[in-house]
């Protein structure tokens, strides 16, 4: 396959460039702000759990108000005309395996829908794709068994071939891996109940990245939120996902 041939032919250059990126990319903090809350008003909130890596945490923004989890809850509340109780369990640098361990170790409430943002660190840590997909299945099974999640959404990776901080040909090579991940994840999700792949074609815009050239800026997060909100709205309307009374969530917040 082309990614294997490219790695063999370009290995010395790719490794030099990867080391350079690790040394020089600006290390941005995770944004400030609450990691749980309720958007909208009324009874029977949809319960949303967002988990994963630095993009799940909203790195590239200054606060959770302009990151991923809270704006997504806000968008869903508007689309569904019902409250959304949201929570965020994420940590910078998490692979799929590390995200599962984080979920096991961090306290979290039950949820109806989970959004799990992983994959970039699997690529940068050279986790074989079949193993990464098995680890994502373990995440889905754990969430279903231990948090009552009805559906787990795995978004496609951003087009890593357009990351401003990554030089060529490493950028091209990373893009190959991201596209390979997305095709495989879409096929994998189609074979398993209670999970789905959310396509992200056309969302990545290199003009909308944060100052590190690696994470989305606020406007790019906003575009991602709209795409994910549409995907999750479709799931909720199709499956009729609902939740417990809103008082329960407030009592445990």
Is 225's pLDDT higher than 70?
yes
Residue 246: its pLDDT value, please? 43
Residue 245: its pLDDT value, please? 43
Domains (range + CATH), the chain: 2-251 (3.40.50.1110)
Confidence of residue 183 (pLDDT cuts 50, 70, 90): very high
Question: Who contacts 162 (Cβ-Cβ below 8 Å, separation ≥6)?
Answer: 171, 175, 204, 205, 206
Is 24's pLDDT higher than 80?
no
Is 201's pLDDT higher than 70?
yes
pLDDT mean over 184-194: 97
Q: Are 87 and 102 in contact (CB under 8 A)?
A: no
Residue 17: its pLDDT value, please? 78
Residue 90: its pLDDT value, please? 98
The residue with tokens 């990776």 is: 157
Residue 6: its pLDDT value, please? 53
Q: What are 9's two structure tokens?
A: 């032919």
Confidence of residue 250 (pLDDT cuts 50, 70, 90): very low
Residue 10: its pLDDT value, please? 66
Give the pLDDT confidence of 84-102 residue by residue, as tens digits: 999 999 999 999 999 999 9
pTM of the shown model? 0.89
Q: What is the dihedral of CA 229, 57, 105, 146, to 10 degrees?
A: 0
Q: Mean pLDDT for the chain?
A: 90
């Amino acid at each position: 396959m082309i990614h294997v041939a490219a790695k063999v032919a370009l290995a010395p250059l790719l490794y030099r460039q990867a080391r350079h990126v690790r040394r020089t990319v600006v290390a941005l903090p995770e944004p400030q702000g609450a990691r749980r809350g309720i958007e909208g008003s009324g009874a029977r909130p949809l319960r949303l759990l967002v988990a994963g890596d630095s993009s799940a945490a909203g790195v590239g923004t200054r606060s959770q108000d302009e990151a991923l989890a809270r704006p997504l809850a806000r968008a869903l509340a508007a689309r569904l005309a019902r409250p959304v109780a949201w929570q965020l369990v994420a940590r910078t640098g998490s692979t799929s395996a590390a995200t599962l361990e984080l979920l096991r170790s961090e306290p979290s409430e039950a949820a109806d829908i989970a959004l799990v943002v992983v994959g970039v660190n699997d690529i940068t840590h050279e986790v074989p794709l079949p193993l990464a997909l098995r680890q994502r299945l373990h995440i889905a099974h754990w969430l279903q068994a231990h948090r009552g999640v009805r559906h787990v959404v795995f978004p496609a990776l951003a087009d890593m071939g357009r990351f401003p901080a990554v030089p060529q040909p490493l950028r091209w090579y990373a893009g190959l891996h991201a596209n390979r991940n997305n095709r495989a994840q879409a096929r994998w999700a189609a074979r398993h109940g209670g999970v789905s792949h959310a396509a992200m074609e056309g969302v990545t815009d290199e003009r909308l990245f944060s100052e590190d050239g690696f994470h989305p800026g606020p406007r790019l997060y906003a575009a991602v939120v709209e795409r994910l909100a549409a995907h999750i709205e479709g799931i909720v309307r199709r499956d009729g996902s609902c939740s417990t009374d809103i008082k329960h969530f407030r009592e445990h917040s």
